[in-house]
Amino acid sequence: MVNVLDIKVLRDLWSMRLQVLSIAMLVAAGVAVFVMSVSNYRALVGAMESHHRNERFADLFAGMTRAPLVIADRLREIDGIGIVEPRIAKPVRIIRKDTNLPISGRVISLPATGQPLLNRLHLLQGRWPDPPHPEEVVINAAYAEARAVRMGESIDVVLNGRLQGFRVVGSALSPEFVFATRSAVPLPDDRNFVVLWAAEDAVASAFDMKGAFNDVAMALAPTAGTMHVLDEVDRLLAPYGGTGAYDRNDQPSHRFLEDELAEQETLSIFMPSVFFGIAAFLLNVVIGRLVEAQRGQIASLKALGFANRTIALHYFKLVTAIALLGSAIGLGLGRWFAIGVVGSYRAFFQFPSLEAQVEPWLLIVATLVSVVAANLAAATSVYRIGVLPPAEAMRPATPPALQTFAWLQTIGSRLIPLQYVIAARTTLGRPIRTLLSTIGIAFAIPLILFGLCWFDAIDYMIDVSFSRIERGDAFLTFTGPVSADALYELMALSGVLKAEVQRVVPVRLRAGYRNYRTSAIGLDSGSELKIPRDKVLQPISIPADGIMLTRLIASQLDLHVGETVSFEVLEGPRPVREVTVRRISDDILGSSVTMDRDALNRVMQEGSVANAAILRIDPAQTGLVWSRIKSMPKIEGSSVKALWLALFNETIDGMVLSGALIVAGFGMLIDWSCLRQRAHRTTGARLGAC
């Protein structure tokens, strides 16, 4: 049965409808962000765990130059290792008649029969390769979709410098390539990167790996210690050119996915807290003002016999109604945002199934959080109702501004116009509320700026990274170290304006108990196509000895200029040296070590060699240059800056625009709500003064 206080709730909501709407929208924003971020987190975690479990994603990985298959048996004997899957994995190039631009790939051997024990494939199209037909391959589904590859279509692959034809019989997903990208490109490039799974005999014959392997995936026993097992694997594989064992946390695809999960986890806690906190403050202000305005009504209700608990419950109902209104709007928005964000994830993460997980419990929790936060915010005002005697309530409250700032009424009004006196009394008379209003607006402005500055930030990042630091048009990798004289062969290509060679090797840096796996890049002194820069974008000269770190690595290892670090090369004889940090650079996208190429060659105990090159190409002759490079068997992989930037714009622009508008909109909503409540209080103060 509806009583008189329930009718009063509806009347109060209607009389304050604009204030109610502004607060409800803040609650809605908090609920929407909470639902979206938690839903996205659970969607990614659920898809990842299901994919890893069903396809048996490995725990450990290791690469080497060449090891006999008998070493796999010795790996199985290491205490803590459960399953060992030896295989052959090599980078390759794909030749397509419809383009001269480079297509990089990676070929991975499959067992003679059936699925591998670890990192199994989830077949989406076609069938499994037939063992009597070694020319049949399965490719990753993202490339098949991007290039519209039909089952049965041929694909030409450069294996170890020799062109070999294969036939595509299936497309699949792999837990190793959820986030599939090629070297030097930090985004999935589905049109220009392909993974091929081919019969072991075909891959072994092409790379002279009969009875051997160069890559291994391993599963840990349930109670195994990861670090102990990694050390044992490193020790066993070192004589065979081991490049260092690592667990799945350092596996490139999984590492990127974990970073995204950490970001969503942080977002699900921080952003809703901001909105709920500001909404709670505004609710406290509104209910406090309402209690003051309704002192006479409260006194009458008490005089008529209404208990304190009944009157307090009335105001809690009012607050709960506002929270429920905001929650209803927020749940709808949150579900819409979640579906949209998960849809955008499909361009980055390849899972058998990735759907927004907007579960009933999440909706209930989001609603409860908003209701509890709102009622806690109103608790102090409701408490004042309980302790207010009826006789005292009959008398209007003395405005705090008059008690504390009476001098404004006497002296100040003679020198200052009345409207400014009223504004000062209203602002200074309630310092806590003024402070909280200021904090609310202070939270809003960074959100607006954060949303609107994304475009400038991305333009700045591209300008610094690809115009000032990486100044070449193309990046090439060779099948192995070659004489630095290869530079002259590249320079001789018609259309190549400038070329520089590099030596790139995998390394592990150790500083105390910290370690970091990355690549060391050896540059020639006076390099013009790659110019490291400091935080004010001034060029940094490459040290003749020692190393230069990016600020990210220096921070991770807590290193400063002049300090030494253990430098372990994960290639060839794997030398270990103590080197000095000579410079720190500010690459936005980079996390590598830079050295003088001659110094790196000396560490590697090799002559003047290189295994990568940067080119600057005449735009009018791009097609001619790539057609010549396409025929060079020693070129293993390549990356074109123009293609990467086009991919970046295609993939990121829509997400940035949506994210910027949402964040900036939330910030403006906070500003509008805080300023509206402030304006309403000022108007009330003026009326009281009159």
- Residue ranges in the chain modelled with pLDDT below 50: 1, 401-404, 671, 675, 677-690
Contacts of 414 (CB under 8 A, 6+ apart): none
Written as six digits, the tokens of 651 are: 């993939």
pLDDT at res. 413: 54
The H-or-E segment that residue 66 falls in is strand 60-68
The phi-psi region of residue 549 (left if phi > 0; otherwise alpha if psi is between -120 and 50; otherwise beta) is: beta
Q: Which residues contact residue 345 at a Cβ distance below 8 angstroms, ignoring those fewer than 6 apart?
A: 40, 43, 44, 354
Q: Distance between CA atoms of 170 and 408, rounded to whole angstroms?
A: 83
Picking from 508, 104, 24, the residue whose alpha carbon sits closest to that of residue 279 is: 24
Quick one: pLDDT at residue 401? 45
pLDDT on residue 85: 94
Question: C-alpha 310: how far from its chain's center?
Answer: 50
Other Cβ atoms less than 10 A from the Cβ of 584: the count is 20
Residue 376: exposure state from Cβ atoms within 10 A (0-12, 13-18, ≥19): middle
Q: What local confidence, expressed as pLDDT, does residue 428 receive?
A: 64
How high is the pLDDT of residue 286? 63
**234 vs 245: CA distance, rounded Å:** 6
The reported pLDDT for the residue numbered 51 is 93
Neighbours of 118 (CB within 10 A): 23
Closest of 240, 275, 263 to residue 23, by C-alpha: 275
Instruction: For the chain, give every domain's residue range.
Output: 1-52+254-396, 54-253, 461-647
What are the φ and ψ backbone dihedral angles of 165, each rounded to 5 degrees? -95, 140
Residue 621's Cβ-count burial label (10 Å; 0-12, 13-18, 19+) is middle
Which residues 6+ apart lie within 8 Å of 593 measured at CB? 507, 509, 518, 519, 520, 521, 547, 548, 549, 553, 567
* Distance in angstroms between the alpha carbons of the first and the last residue of the chain: 42
What is the Cα 248 distance to its own chain's centre?
18
Contact 55, 120 (CB under 8 A): yes
* pLDDT attached to residue 172: 94
Q: How many CB atoms lie within 10 A of CB 348?
A: 17
Distance set, CA 637 to CA 97, 136, 488 (Å):
17, 23, 19
* 3-class secondary-structure state, position 20: helix
Measured in degrees and rounded to the nearest 5, phi and psi for residue 502 equal -140, 160
Output the DSSP codes for 621-681.
GHHHHHHHHHT-TTEEEEEEHHHHHHHHHHHHHHHHHHHHHHHHHHHHHHHHHHHHHHHHH
